[in-house]
Structure 1
Amino acid sequence: MNELLPFLGYCALMSGTPGPNNMMLVASGAHHGYRRTLPTIFGMNVGNAVQTFITCLGLGALFVAWPLLHSALRLAGTLYLLVLAWRLAGSPAATDRPPQRVSFTEAALMQAVNPKSWVRAVTIASVFMPPGWSVPAGALFVSAVGAVIGFPCVSMWALFGVGIGRWLSSPARRRVFNAIMAASLALLAVLLLN
């Protein structure tokens, strides 16, 4: 229990603090509602779980051995987040339409280029793997627990978006909201690059 509580706290902190995933969930919740955002939430959780599992099996060692690989992944992640920010902002002719929802698959695959997700996975692999367990069993355990803890934390961001969505009934407010969320996502992308 002494080892489990810090791990649970870390998972809640990493899932509940602002980041690219949560900014997308606020926007999706605001525009599409909670129920239609669930595939994105599940995709993020599955992507994080798979990423954590693979990292615990040894992928994190590649980043230590080849820091250039980590830098390339960070750059790819930044570029992808900037594309998502552009998509969220919408084209000038279509700013009155809600942005397209991020699918389960897109959300899951996004974790591969999300720097915050990599930090989370590498930290879990290096700090929170259960001692005395086989590597596959420990990796499966921490991945599953991370997904279970992550679901309600990221759901709160989508529900926050749902609450804001009621305010977004006018096209002018929706344009301002999309611009703010897109700028926030772009800023996070640039900050994660450093």
Structure 2
Amino acid sequence: MIGFHQVLAFGFAASLLLVTPGPSVLYVTSRTLNGGALAGVRSIVGLAVGDFLQVLAVALGIAAVVAASPTALQALKLVGACYLLYLAWKCLPRPGVTAAETNAAETPRPDKSFRDAVIVNGLNPKSTLFFLAFLPSFVEPTHGPTWLQALSLGLVFVLVGIITNGAWALAAGAARSRTSLGSNAIAQHWLPAIVLMGLAALTFWQL
């Protein structure tokens, strides 16, 4: 079983990594601006589920098999990038459609926000490689089964991620509700779309 100091060291390292704005933060804030607080919350939970799936794959050895196959990694990158582009397209306002109709049609439903976040994080090969490199460095062979330690530490990472992403979502939600961002087409549609396209471009760049 993992020890308290082991968890403390891992939690501190994970916090330093997650508190810095990255792809997950950009994704959560863009979805919150586009769909409101509820969409942001569902996105956070979806990202957490996606991270857990990645951790589970590492603990069970599946991630190591995928990482050893360049073809599998390339396929994951391509699918993930294309899905991000699809989400960006869904955020964009449609020509000839009024603002009210666009808001009703394009603002992602909470269930879709959750599903999209799970897919985006679950298919992210960078997360696979990250967990493969990060988790084993905190595993102690004398503390029990390595797969159980990796899974336990991964859950700590997921919990820290929920907290940090939640803080960013709260900030984005407050900005959306207290300013004109909630009704501003640029902030509500174009900004999230640009963020998602940027994430897709970053993924394509690494192909």
| TM-score category, normalised to shorter length | 0.7 to 0.9
1:162 aligns with: 173
Tell me, in whole angstroms, the C-alpha distance in 2 between the residues paired with 1:119 and 1:154.
21
Match for 2:131: what amino acid? A
Q: Quickly say closer, same or farther: Cα 1:65–1:25, change in 2 above 3 A.
A: closer
Out of 66, 70, 74, the residue aligned to residue 73 of structure 2 is 70
The SS at the match of 1:92 is coil
Distance 1:6 1:147 in 2: 15
Give the direction of change, closer, same or farther, for the CA distance of 1:92–1:160 in structure 2 (3 Å limit): farther
Deviations 1:100-119 (A, max 9, x none): 13343332233222244334
3-state SS of paired residue (2:60): helix
Partner of 2:37: 34
Name the SS of the counterpart of 2:61 in structure 1: helix
State the 1:14 CA deviation: 4.2
**Letter aligned with residue 200 of structure 2:** A
The answer to whether the aligner puts 1:91 opposite 2:91 as a matched pair is no
> Which residue does 2:127 correspond to in 1?
117
State the alpha-carbon separation in 1 of the partners of residues 97 and 26 from structure 2: 21
Question: Structure 1, residues 87-132: CA drift from partner, whole Å, max 9, x if none?
Answer: 1224334573162133433322332222443343223344333433
Partner of 1:107: 117
AA in 1 matched with 2:123: V
Q: Distance in 2 between matches of 1:90 and 1:130?
A: 52
Alignment map for 1:118-157 (pairs within 5 Å): 118-132=128-142, 133-157=144-168
> Identity over aligned residues, as a percent?
27
Q: May I ask how many residue pairs the two structures share in their alignment?
A: 193
Q: Which residue of 2 aligns with 1:175?
A: 186
Q: What is the TM-score of this pair, normalised by structure 1?
A: 0.82
* Stretch deviating more after TM superposition (176-185 or 121-130): 121-130
Range that drifts further, 73-82 or 110-119: 110-119
CA distance in 2, matches of 1:176, 1:12: 29
In the superposition, the TM-score normalised over structure 2's length comes to 0.77
CA distance in 2, matches of 1:25, 1:137: 29
Structure 1 contact 45–151 (Cα < 8 Å) conserved: yes
Give the AA of the match of 2:58: T
Matched-pair contact (CA < 8 Å) for 1:20–1:81: no
AA aligned to 1:100 is: P
> Contact 1:22–1:157 (CA<8 Å) still a contact in 2?
yes
SS in 2 for 1:91: coil
C-alpha contact (below 8 Å) 2:31/2:192 kept by paired residues: no
Query: 2:203 is aligned with what amino acid?
Result: L
Deviations 1:121-146 (A, max 9, x none): 22334433343321332132112111
CA-atom RMSD, angstroms? 2.7
Q: CA deviation at 1:73?
A: 0.6
Which position in structure 1 is the counterpart of 2:48?
A: 45
Bigger Rg over Cα: 2
